[in-house]
Chains A and B, each alone.
Chain A
Amino acid sequence: MHEPRRVVVTGMGIVSPVGNWPGPLFDNVAAGRSGIRLLPAGERASPVQVAAWIDAPIADGSKGVPPDRVTQLALAAGRSALTEAGLLDRPDLLADMGVHLGTGSGASATTDQAFYRLYGENRDRLAPMTLPRGINNAAASELAIRFGLTGVNHTYSIACASSSSAIGEALRAIRHGYSERILAGGSEALLTYGILHAWHALRALATPDAQVGATCRPFSADRTGLVLGEGAAFLVLESLASAQARGATILAELAGYGASCDADHVTHPSSSGQVRAIRHALADAALDPGAIDYVNAHGTGTPAGDAVEAESLRTVFSQHLHTLPVSSSKAVHGHLMGAGGAVELAIAILAMQKNTVPPTAHCRVPDSELGIDVVAEGMRHKTLNAVLSNSFAFGGSNAVLIARRCEAGA
């Protein structure tokens, strides 16, 4: 039995509708610059007019048949994370590295196009690569193949909590000695005709605002729903001893992970389930509620979801609420579903590095019923030593992550 080991973050890579990391992502989030726009008119009239997507071509070095977009985004973010960690030119260290990838919808475009070919075009055959391109672990597999990562290769599909769970389970695997280092995160590319229709049918999407970029307004009294987005983020996680031995730059310590299931309703969240996950994460990190300096909320912008999350935060943080800034970056990058938890944890870690709380953009009328400090006025400068990121999924799964500052030699 291994002694539990501390786990640190040594690299992060993000591709998102508000820019990449490394790149201008955090500055854009901190400035409240929105990546939410009107969808271009397609062949068929989409029921969804507004979303957040990535314009820049995703260069993944593919030869032959390009992989699904979810894999392309994963490759781009994974490469950035490995590069920042200084591992891209270290095949000896990559060799035993694992992959934990979260995705909610997987290879949506491949599935969508294949079914259209059969049902829409009445063709009688599919491309041979349809299956290997479309399986749920295609992106994780391609990361391993591309970078020579021969450790565990796991895909987590837990809707909006997919990548938070992937990261949390990676924390446990390294902590308890099953892996030395893991590339953990998520990818989502679900802006396809079929998936847009499915979301529209659920009536959870925001009504397009006259100012399109401000359509998603978490914690605002006039919020109307969520906005779909695409993107990917990965973190290089490794044991503190491993990072120190190779002289890696340590960005943060991944200190805690808590998970739970509401076991109540498939779409309506339950505060008791969220509270248990947050408390599990705090206990896992051995931190009191008062030690958390910033919460990157799940904050989707739905009337019910934000209210339940605020209730959970009030329950857990009670007397500390007045010194606990809360914000949701979904206001600018949209809801990245399976990739959301990874993107938002990375944003929280960047916030800690820069001692800057990003705002909840477009929160025009902070909902006074919520009883939390939603940082609506713009970025706020504050010393941040520990940050918490919430992810609450359809299906009732909750995953909460805590990162804290890790000084050199800590």
Chain B
Amino acid sequence: MNDTENRLCDMLAQQLEIPREGLTRTTTLEQVGLDSLATIEFMFQIEDSFNIRFDQTGEPPTTLGDVLDQVSAKLEHA
């Protein structure tokens, strides 16, 4: 995992109080207990933490990999 991926996994593990180990790109947000509202909150925290802003019109992420891709895309264009 790169630095961004590590940072996101740390955030998720801390927020949900779940083991950091075992989080992979294919882990679904539903699997770790994030419903749609909690997902929006999590994305907001990522925006705050990385100082980025996601597009509000795109598809909501369903896996950790989706989140990582959205963050990476924003960081590349930052």
State the A residues within 8 Å of B (CB): 63-65, 125, 127-129, 132
Contacts and interface: CB of A to CB of B under 8 A. Distances in A.
A125 to B, nearest CB: 8
Size bracket, chain B contacts: 10 to 19
24 contacts: A63-B16, A63-B17, A63-B33, A64-B15, A64-B16, A64-B33, A64-B34, A64-B38, A64-B41, A64-B42, A65-B15, A65-B38, A65-B41, A125-B44, A127-B41, A127-B44, A127-B45, A128-B37, A128-B40, A128-B41, A128-B44, A129-B37, A129-B41, A132-B37
B48 to A, nearest CB: 8
Residue in A64, A125, A129 with the greatest tally of chain B CB atoms within 10 Å:
A64
Contacts of A129: 37, 41
* 3 closest A-B pairs by CB: A128-B40, A64-B38, A129-B41
A128 B33 CA distance: 17
Contacts of B15: 64-65
A71 to B, nearest CB: 15
Contacts of B37: 128-129, 132
B37 to A, nearest CB: 7
A290 B37 CA distance: 56
Contacts of B17: 63
A63 B15 CA distance: 7
Contacts of A132: 37
Interface in B32-77: 33-34, 37-38, 40-42, 44-45
A64 B37 CA distance: 11
Nearest to A129: B41
B43 to A, nearest CB: 8
A320 B45 CA distance: 61
Nearest to A64: B38
Contacts of B16: 63-64
A127 B34 CA distance: 16
A332 to B, nearest CB: 34
